[in-house]
Structure 1
């Protein structure tokens, strides 16, 4: 397939999910190309951009901070609010490292090990609830509920505030997609609702600090390059809250939704999980590869860059198609086979490594493992209905799962 024949602004390509067949053709024929400014692109992301489809591209784009910057945000069209304020996803080293250091202890192996028993207990309770009714809504009852509860505890969001705040995140995703974009300034109003709440929480944690991330950030003091010390400014705290809460919930929710669909479509893999304890850790990695909860991530060239023999001019946007990278035939044998015993499995579901590698990777793994164990080892006759879902497209890089009926019995 020629690059000139591709118009990724055609929403029909994305209507049934990520266009895997199209990207398989692109990996073979045009693995890296500059997307033309078609009328659809002009209407949606408003600029030309490069499409990077291979695993090697994802790794370089995430690790080469000398050549590529995160400053314009992860979406193809820079979101003004991301571009105007420093955040943990738009800063580059060394400033990025200072922010990550503030919260990294909450996500290190020792911290996650302390959380695992609680995560498993919550997952067990949620599966108990499904078994009591012989089913329910996989999204509301488990895929949304577990990560929302866990990241809410880590950040320090009061229980009573969580449903409202996490619902706003889904509404923001929908607002970014032209097919579901509401009228007027709803997108700005939704961000404002989150930011207002973040500052209310900041004030409360400064008055009454507790053992959670937000108390740490609300009271943190950073030393600047000039030696001056300062607290994180209000706009940075607002985005810090958004990124932590959103990334810590919706990405895992997507992995749990897409992972369950893959397992039900491959019942022999469910039996394998039950019968062979040695594949359970690798099953988590295969769910992450298969789901690729974040479909793509974007960088901007800081300087003129050579990649695959092509010159990417400084200032150009380069889109790393992570889901395509996770189906790269040069890295993953039989990439369209869902294989829970796959090893090695160097997926880029958490990015391609480097300074921006997902802080919550170990937390997500712990949540996935707990749910898979509780569901697959305790439940039988697992069946699901069609999902109510809005898929990623050129303007939003994640699916939005609202409903997925599940029925099951006790084994």
Structure 2
């Protein structure tokens, strides 16, 4: 199937689902990150609405974008302008579509957590709590309010092996573009471009979007990869997949090297303080570089040992001082930028967050002296911590062995061929 036919089929299917008589009166929700895949899905939804007569545009479509408050500044500015552009297009064309931005409450922001309460950083393993806390949780709260009969997302099996496995786990049936949300009871998810390739996504984005030009999103990906993010429309040259760049939080701890921010900082001088502070944050949690910056305890006074646990209060104070210095340096450099859109000062951390952080320090200093620094450790705490961790590891190994044995002993029914 050629791409034009594929696009027409996707738009027709979206229009058909939109007019589903069994869910009349219930809204749709579109999850939009501002990236290439979710933007393609939103463009297809808008095209579907355009092809329907006004009398059939009776279902509300809520477009939801999550703001982590630590987004790449260039991407955050782009996202907010795109939301305004989409809403303007919807108003001018009498479309039942509204785009909005949701975020985590300030008192639960990562700055209050990391710099105020001394939380340990998320990793790229099972404790990568930031994605759920900053993106999924605020969006799910809004989805609960909206109660959509269908949530449209831009997931594709080609994105990664992990994403493909997740899609297969929750698909209603093999090859289906519908899944069930793992975060709610029964909410259906629709993936219009689940089997599309990266090349096909970019072929679509070579054209204008219903609400405006697609030039900026292509330029963003080019800046993030340091390579040309456009592919050959004729298909005579194989795409390099450079268009699959990662966009996200400029301070993201789980990734080893943030190539998108670093590539952008080579073009935009004002982004260099961001990459430098991000490395400082990672170093602060590295016991080899700063052995006395971790308190050795959890907040509930569970001893973990040297170089582990929450950040000590003095380390948190240093990081906030350096973050404010980075913010000042960023804005001095932005004032010199050639692009007028980049000259306005930005706020890396809000005054309300700083106030909450100071309050957290004061509370910890009074109520949790073991978080001041590792000198507060009591005699024998390290030994007890090591013993407790060793005991937990033994229990984990036993549980894994028992589970493996149960699977080995399971009787499988005979299959008649």
Shorter chain as denominator, the TM-score bin is under 0.3
> What TM-score results when the alignment is normalised by the length of structure 2?
0.27
> What TM-score results when the alignment is normalised by the length of structure 1?
0.27
Give 1 or 2 for the bigger CA radius of gyration. Answer: 2
Greater relative CO (CA pairs within 8 A, separation 6+):
1
